Structure 1
Amino acid sequence: MGFEPHVGPGTGGKWYEISRRNARSVQTTVGWIFWDPGALARYEQLGLESVLAGPIGYIASRGAPFAPAGPDALIAAFGSISPAGIRFTFDLLKGPDGFRAFWDARDEAIEEGLRRHAPGIVDPLCEIGPALWSVVDQLPLLGRTLFGATLSMPRPDSPLLSGWHAVNLLREWRGDTHWALVAAAGLTSSEISILHNEWLCYEDDWLSKSRGHTGEEIDEGWESLTHKGLAADRRVLPEGLRLRQRIEDLTDERTALPWQLLGEHAAHEFAQRFEPPCELLLSRVDETAGVRYQPASRQRARYEDGTGA
């Protein structure tokens, strides 16, 4: 059973649904590592205190391709992650070599962790890797800065790790697209975190706090959302939730291209083969971080009206 890239004949509702469905497995294949004890232990060996291993390890390992550009560029690329945390990471690591050490440590933990916690994903990743790299090489760079920076990193020799990195590039391409839509909607990092939190039906300001936003930044977000008519009395109004859902719908619609390039049959096969092991990886996140972490992997209903999802 293999994966062959193929340009799909057209667009439409089926591609939106494929994009929406596979985005969850893409996110889960990648995201579990940022809270995994195997990665965090390696970050501590690089000199981080245990309390910093999670947040700083995330910034350092994911942000390594952007390290030469400096903190402001990474703040712009990351979207919702605390600017103060990113600046602190740059001050701590003192240059691209420090970031690259975390990139390499994460890669070691990925190989080990996938084989241990989701062995069913190993063969699919090894088999789909070449086809996904063919897709990645055809994706437009314009406006996709984190994708472009990550694309410049060396491609691993290991088939398993190579497949994982190809999936990671799909994730970064989608993320860049999403943040372009957020910016086009005129929303700030703090504002979109607040909208996203209530769209997920999470407790008050949980998502903002988890991404390192300060109380002052959260207050400013609520104030500006209120001024825009999207919130009142520190609650998001239906207009705000509809806007958040619209951004999600547009993200799914405008990130269908990788699956069209892969081809309909292989895109459906990706869903079938990746979803079962990804459920194991999501359970791993539940254990290592908590059930609210990695929200892009969580199932939720579409927001349709003012009553909530």
Structure 2
Amino acid sequence: MTAMVTRTPQLARRLFDRFEPVHALTYFSPESISAFDNAGYRGFWMSYFAGRSAPLGAVAAEVVAAKFYNFSPAHVARALPSAWTFAPPSAALEAREQSAAAALRRCGIADDDQTRTATALLKRAARSAPWAGRPLFAANLALPWPDDPVARLWHATTLLREQRGDAHVAVLVANGISGRESNVLHSLADRVPREFIVKSRHYDEDEWRDCTGRLVERGLVDDAGALTDAGRDLKQRIEDTTDALALPAFDALDDADLTLLFRTLTPITRTVIAAGDIPAATPMGLGRDDLDDDKPHLR
């Protein structure tokens, strides 16, 4: 392996903007909805919680609510554990893998050299990424790799996003921001529109007001409902720390590998986004301004 220049956490963020849409297609594609319906699950949210938590097995709703963090425990409990009376976790794993591959192919992702190269590099990163303290990543890492090359690409992106996500939850906890408060903070920082968060994460006005009030008490939000300087600083620190904790996942890739990964993965991401399934606003707050650039800018 050639020597690496000093890498900044921004590199991890730019990579996230590239691999997350490939994974996230599973939450928005018609193929996914049909696959989970055919498996026996009832409705989008039961399918979501069953599919994403299936690597953990048929665990209690409290375990999933703890790990998924920004969802209401009551929201999770409406889907789990009752989902497992309709179909087991193995059915959810099969549905999400097969439907993700089908959706990616429909978007224009093929079993070609570009896909295989990006997948090989992402796999190398994922297999060497730190897993201690990251239970959802570890559970996904323990799954067998798919045989289908396009499904393997999806699986690799899933691993890296859950590896990052586990660390993000830890950062929020360490900074005293609850899961429900984190959504409000995210919205007030203009990462995701309030109306989108309210709908996708099931808030009523009382809960939103209570979360905002707790942030006001900490001096993070002012009486007008805007972030204070302290609030903006904390939000940026949370994002920067998350990026810094995600960066070691790519230590297994040297500079030439990263250059190749950006060159092969960036067009794949653009193709997925161009298909139109993933909305411009998502809870992940993905950036798209940088996706015309397929260079890592290591120097």
**Structure 1 length-normalised TM:** 0.83
Q: Tell me which amino acid in the other structure corresponds to 1:225.
A: L
Shift of 1:107: 1.3
For 1:307, the equivalent position in structure 2 comes to: none
Alignment of 1:1-309 (within 5 A): 6=1, 9=3, 12=6, 14-49=7-42, 52-53=43-44, 55-94=45-84, 97-119=87-109, 123-200=113-190, 202-204=192-194, 206-233=196-223, 234-284=225-275, 287-288=276-277, 290-293=279-282, 295-299=284-288
CA contact (8 A) 1:120 1:277 kept: no
Q: Which consecutive unaligned segments of at least 5 residues does structure 1 have?
A: 1-5, 302-309
Q: Against the structure 1 CA distance between its residues 246 and 275, is the aligned structure 2 distance closer, same or farther, given a 3 Å change threshold?
A: same
Shift of 1:214: 4.0
Q: Against the structure 1 CA distance between its residues 90 and 30, is the aligned structure 2 distance closer, same or farther, given a 3 Å change threshold?
A: same
For this pair of structures, how many residues does the alignment match?
289
Q: Tell me which amino acid in the other structure corresponds to 2:22.
A: T
Name the CA distance, whole Å, in 1 between partners of 2:174 and 2:230.
Answer: 17
Residues 223-232 or 118-127, more deviating:
118-127
Shift of 1:93: 1.2
Q: Percent identity?
A: 24
Shift of 1:36: 0.3
CA contact (8 A) 2:108 2:272 kept: yes
**Structure 2 length-normalised TM:** 0.86
Name the CA distance, whole Å, in 2 between partners of 1:178 and 1:121.
Answer: 32
CA contact (8 A) 1:18 1:268 kept: no
Q: Against the structure 1 CA distance between its residues 295 and 138, is the aligned structure 2 distance closer, same or farther, given a 3 Å change threshold?
A: closer
CA contact (8 A) 2:36 2:47 kept: yes
Alignment RMSD, CA only? 2.5
3-state SS in 1 of match to 2:282: coil
CA contact (8 A) 1:26 1:171 kept: yes
